[in-house]
Structure 1
Amino acid sequence: MTETFISSNSTCTLKCRTVVVFFAGVLTYRNNFEAAASEIAKRYDNAKIVMIFPYGMANGISGSSLFGLLARQLTQVGYDLTREQSRRIISASEIIREHAVDAANLIFIGHSAGGVVAYRTGLYLEAEYGVNQIQVFAVGCPKFYLKDIPYNSRFTYITGQKLDRITQIGGWQRPGSRVYRGKPGRIIQMKFNPNHQGWRFHASYFLKSDWTDSNEVFHTNSEDLVSKIHELHPGN
């Protein structure tokens, strides 16, 4: 079941110029995006920050129940990877229409499977309601078949410097297909905290996760990621 809330880091509640929407993947907790939301608030004026959990939150779930949640979520992800529309996409679209009536800029940021939902939700809003100011950023996301359409020019795919198993899933182009021959408008590889390994690396893109590089320059994952998004789409 889709869950959503407005981040306390929002700098606007009504008639907001910019609406930034975070889309979560599987086994994600309520506060996962708050460090990144704080960075959004520093860079975008009059910004409402909406958190959408298309597959539900993992808060308060543990033990065998957590495995049950994961199994259900993975089934839903498999559906969303292969189909252009699902009830999660329609639900997300309704939530966004409620919060973004007056927005001049719409920025969708999806993590993992949330990147798939972010892309498809933007495409649905464009096709059904003529909303064409959406910029989509998918971070640590599995690949999925893309049509070669103008919408892709507003789709940015971001990965890390280390192997992330999730980003190895799928492909952009379907072999032999004349329809699914598209690709993201931008594919960007960034450096994130190298101390994280395996699944911790995949989970850390949006966390503060501070680290110092070989030149003794201080970084945080959330700040570097949002800085790159703002560089690519300042929202002016």
Structure 2
Amino acid sequence: MTANNSASSLSIYLLAGVATTTCAFNECRKKLDKLFRDDGIEPHIHVLFPYGDASQSLVRQVIEVRTDLSNRMTAGRIGGRRAFQHIKQLNENGKRMLLIGHSGGGAAAYQAARMMEEYGEDNDIRIVQVGSPKTPIHPKLQARVSYFHSVDGTGKLNDPISRIGSWGGWTAAGRAMPRWNRLKFAPGYVEGIPTVGGHADYFRHTKPYTDEQAICNLDKTIDSVRGWLKGWL
């Protein structure tokens, strides 16, 4: 990744899903800070819990995540609205932003970004969804959204949360009968990551969450994200 200039800066938001401990992003935050600074970019990293942390009611958190799994303008978008309001409180308008959401946090990240677009916020923003439920992405934002999910040794999806939801929609061309397109509202970029473990382990950095080459899940996840961001920063 190459910085545009030595004075460039970037606001980074790490958004947690349900039942997440307050320390879950500690190593991820440290790694991102070092990598961006090494590239000449000054990162301002914030950790958000749009549905609350692990001390909150799991049932309530799951219900709130469901409000963010819609592309309808009238959707409740509880987590997305909380994230949006937090960003507004920090006066981040007009700055470059990177929103990285894990699990339900990925849905909240997208909804927060969409609210910025709805209200005319002038932000250069990118959204990363990691192990998230499938949230339909509005065509205006598809190129700004990436989606990463865990795969096994054969490349088959092995994160059950990534099976929840849908990107599908009906497509009609001329007089042809409408056809179901399962990727109509998919993010602009989708990639599988061969991680060790399960849904909660994308950001693990110690054994046993390392492969035969001693590469940990955190490094794989962050390297995949950086690969997608190349050319933007």
TM-score relative to the length of structure 2: 0.78
CA distance in 1, matches of 2:190, 2:53: 28
Aligned: 1:119 with 2:103: no
Partner of 1:213: 211
Partner of 1:31: 23
Distance 1:22 1:212, change over 3 A: closer
CA distance in 2, matches of 1:100, 1:222: 30
Residue 80 of structure 1: SS of its match in structure 2?
coil
- Mind listing any 5+ residue stretches in structure 2 that lack a counterpart? 1-6, 153-157, 173-177
**Identity rate, percent:** 25
Distance 1:30 1:212, change over 3 A: closer
Q: How many residues align?
A: 205
Q: Give 1 or 2: higher helix fraction.
A: 1
Residue 40 of structure 1: SS of its match in structure 2?
helix
C-alpha root-mean-square deviation of aligned residues, in Å?
2.6
Aligned: 1:183 with 2:174: no
- Mind listing any 5+ residue stretches in structure 1 that lack a counterpart? 1-14
CA distance in 1, matches of 2:134, 2:210: 30
How much does 1:72 deviate? 0.9
Q: What do residues 27-59 of structure 1 show as CA deviations (whole Å, max 9, x unaligned)?
A: 00101111111110111131111111011011x
How much does 1:100 deviate? 5.5
TM-score relative to the length of structure 1: 0.77
Q: What do residues 97-154 of structure 1 show as CA deviations (whole Å, max 9, x unaligned)?
A: 333637642111011111111011111112213334111110101112333x131101
Tell me if structure 2 keeps the 8 A contact 1:145–1:174.
Answer: no
Residue 89 of structure 1: SS of its match in structure 2?
helix
CA distance in 1, matches of 2:137, 2:92: 28
Partner of 1:52: 48
Q: What do residues 149-206 of structure 1 show as CA deviations (whole Å, max 9, x unaligned)?
A: 131101000011131110111210135799x93211000011112xx2xxxx100101
